Amino acid sequence: MRDGPDRFVMIVRNPRARHAPSLRAIWEGAAPLRRGRWRVEVADTHAAGDATALTQQAAERGASVVVACGGDGTLNEVLNGLSGRATALAVLPAGTANVWSREASIPRDPVRALALLDEGRRVRVDVGVASIGAQPSRRFLLMCGVGLDADAVREVEEHPRLKRLLRQAAFAWPAARAIASAHPVRVNIASDDVNAAPQDIVLAVAGNTRLYGGVARIAGEARIDDGLLDLVTFEGDVSGWRAPLRYSVAASRALRGVTAGTDAPGVTYRRSPGWELTPERPLPVQVDGEYLGEAGPEAPLRLAALPEAIEVVIGRQPNALLGEPA
């Protein structure tokens, strides 16, 4: 049963996020909405999964928009709570990297971010979905990573205080250690329109958007409205002290967003509506910076793009993810 007016917004706040605004700041930021006859509610999360549950409850009560107030992890939970719902997704960035808010031109200031509910654009965009073997699937808005980055994400998640203290730098040591000890794993990669082929990879990234970790445009040609996932694989055949040098060339190209359409050694760029990755030995997987699990010979990773699966609130600036010239 619907509860309240059509213009009902629920703000789901992660109070442990790096830059989480106070409740007072949120209510001050929402004052123009309330004067505009929006009904505003705020709910705090306390544990993993709370944002998804709170979002589902808000949607069932008729919320027209749910605002994820936190980082990209909170955003991912809210996204999964909106699966199959007509409720729109907005964001009040308060996390470490805030990748989506940067892609979508969302300001950090609560007043300006919440004003987009009236002044911004609403567009329908694709959503990625990832599943490992028989495990439940999980949706993602940004990217899915396999290998090196997921290994670093897993380690950082075991030390959440370090992440809050060091922000993006918290990933530097785990990532460097993963690179130095990296051993390529043979992965069979298949899709509906690409023949199955094995590759020895250290990292694979399936991008629904472009900006990776807030620092590199790995999937530099990705669009969020084309029904495709851009898969970028980094192949390798060295480890130990030579590995950072070997991968620095590919990394520098990623930082400049030139992984697509190049002959960069050790980098392959492909696009398809869906992918299946089957590694010969277990490889960690992350979605939107959150650890998902391990794919393996008996538990392949399946990825798919769900076209126009959700409505999002974004800034009014031209957006390359929608094919709009800057």
236-259 tens-digit pLDDT: 754 444 444 445 545 555 545 545
pTM attached to this predicted model: 0.86
Question: 66 has which bridge partners?
Answer: 10, 89
For 129-307, CATH gives 2.60.200.40
pLDDT at 212 (0 to 100): 86
Q: How confident is the model at residue 181 (pLDDT cuts 50, 70, 90)?
A: low
pLDDT at 3 (0 to 100): 43
For 319, the 3-state DSSP assignment is coil
CA angle 293, 295, 297 (to 5 degrees): 150
133: alpha, beta or left? (left if phi > 0; alpha if psi -120 to 50): left
Q: Please give the mean pLDDT across all residues of the chain.
A: 85
Say if residue 172's pLDDT is above 50: no
Question: Tens of pLDDT along 36-71?
Answer: 989 999 999 999 999 999 999 999 999 999 999 999
pLDDT at 222 (0 to 100): 96
Q: How confident is the model at residue 158 (pLDDT cuts 50, 70, 90)?
A: low
pLDDT at 237 (0 to 100): 59
Do residues 315 and 105 make contact, with C-beta atoms less than 8 angstroms apart? yes
Do residues 138 and 287 make contact, with C-beta atoms less than 8 angstroms apart? yes
For 8-119, CATH gives 3.40.50.10330
What is the percentage of the chain residues whose pLDDT exceeds 70?
81
Say if residue 6's pLDDT is above 80: no
Query: Encoding tokens for residue 19?
Result: 């830059």
Q: Write down the domain spans for the chain.
A: 8-119, 129-307
